Amino acid sequence: MSTRIVITGGAGFLGSLLARRILAEPVALGGSEPAPVGELLLLDLAEPHPDLAADPRVRPVVGPLEEALGGLGDVDAIFHLAGVVSGAAEADFDLGMRTNLDGTRALLQYARGLRTPPVLVFSSSLAVFGNDPALPPLGVVDDNTLPRPQSSYGIQKFIGEQLVADYTRKGFVRGRSVRLMTVSVRPGKPNAAASSFLSGIIREPLSGQRAVCPVAPETPIALSSPRCTVDGLLRAAAVGDAEWGSTTAMNLPALTTNPREMAEALDRVTGSTTSSLIDWTGDPGITAIVGSWPAEFDTPRARRLGLEAEKTFDDIIRAYLTDNPGEQ
């Protein structure tokens, strides 16, 4: 028996990677046996990548989320990746609230009306954690650390987590909120995320272009590769309700590093002084956002599901070079 799956943000970077994985192999949902996808609905403001649009199992749904939901019908699973990224949500409060909060609630209301509660994976963020200036520094974040977001984006994601938890408690959805780490290295052009430079300082020098690092070289950062991030999303969808456990969001594993170590890894992998193309020019606004995020995580819950962080940033760069030969 085949399945129907929705990915919001399906034309974006992570949405496209997730879509390709789903189309490539049978997918387990909520503890069931893996089954092939019969129809994959990609919701976004933009058209999906040509290779995805060419697959007969893919149905692009282009337009605002609230409008797109009306004609979807019943689905077995939803991956909710759509949203306004951190820097844009901070710069435009109303856009962030409308997209990240109102859009999430509209999606949950759609799911509530389905005949069978779908598995719903909500992509939250490490930005739900922050260093409250009135309290001691966070230190190591574990599965029981209380979120204290210090940005509009973080607050919007935390509210989304709580909505998913309550809709799950009421039996409307089978929710799994997953807190993503900063994803690096992303191919393509920079986006409006405050953390976008953490891909740019690798991606641009590899292409012979200059890049700017807007934070201090020793700023601690929690990272995950695109591959491991998609692994986490799929694993969250695959497990049964009992194995998933608490409706509280799960932190994905992270590699702790800093921009200086990333630059050094870049030189080791390329065997040259590629990092000389990085300009270390501070930006107080970016520093304030990124500097409020925790960088050290202990994630036993994720480990119990078989999820592990990468061992070194060198490995992440090598994977990027393998997966994106045209970006070099």
**Model pLDDT for residues 58-96, shown as the tens digit of each residue:** 999 999 999 999 889 999 999 999 999 888 899 999 999
Of 155 and 324, which is predicted with more confidence?
Answer: 155
Each residue of 26-36: pLDDT tens digit? 999 999 999 99
Residue 228 has pLDDT above 90, yes or no: yes
What are the distances in angstroms from CA 132 to CA 12, 37, 243? Answer: 32, 44, 33
The pLDDT score that the predictor gives to residue 328 is 54
pLDDT at 143 over 90: yes
The answer, yes or no, to whether residue 292 has pLDDT greater than 90, is no
Residue 122: pLDDT over 70: yes
Q: Which residues are catalytic?
A: 153
Distance CA 111, CA 145 (A): 29
pTM higher than 0.85 for the full model? yes
User: Is residue 188's pLDDT more than 90?
Assistant: no
**CA–CA distance, 241 with 239 (Å, rounded to integer):** 7
Give the Cα separation of 157 and 196 in Å (integer): 18
pLDDT at 54 (0 to 100) = 97
- For residues 280 and 53, what is the distance between their CA atoms, to the nearest angstrom? 40
CA 264, CA 10: separation in Å to the nearest integer?
Answer: 34
Q: For position 70, what pLDDT does the model report?
A: 86
Helix (H) or strand (E) holding 61: strand 58-62
280, 233 contact by CB (below 8 A) = no
Counting residues of the chain whose pLDDT is more than 90, the rounded percentage is: 88
Average pLDDT, the chain: 94
The Cα-based distances of 123 to 50, 76, 134, 261, 287 in angstroms read: 24, 17, 28, 27, 23
Q: How many CA atoms lie within 13 A of 78 on its CB side?
A: 29
pLDDT exceeds 70 at position 244: yes
Q: For residue 190, what pLDDT is reported?
A: 81
Q: Are 169 and 65 in contact (CB under 8 A)?
A: no
pLDDT at 78: 98
Neighbours of 284 (CB within 10 A): 10
Tell me the average pLDDT across 287-316: 93
| Mean pLDDT of the 108-129 span | 97
- Domains in the chain with CATH codes: 3-181+225-252+296-309 (3.40.50.720)
Look at residue 191 in the predicted model and tell me its pLDDT: 77
pLDDT at residue 326, rounded to an integer: 67
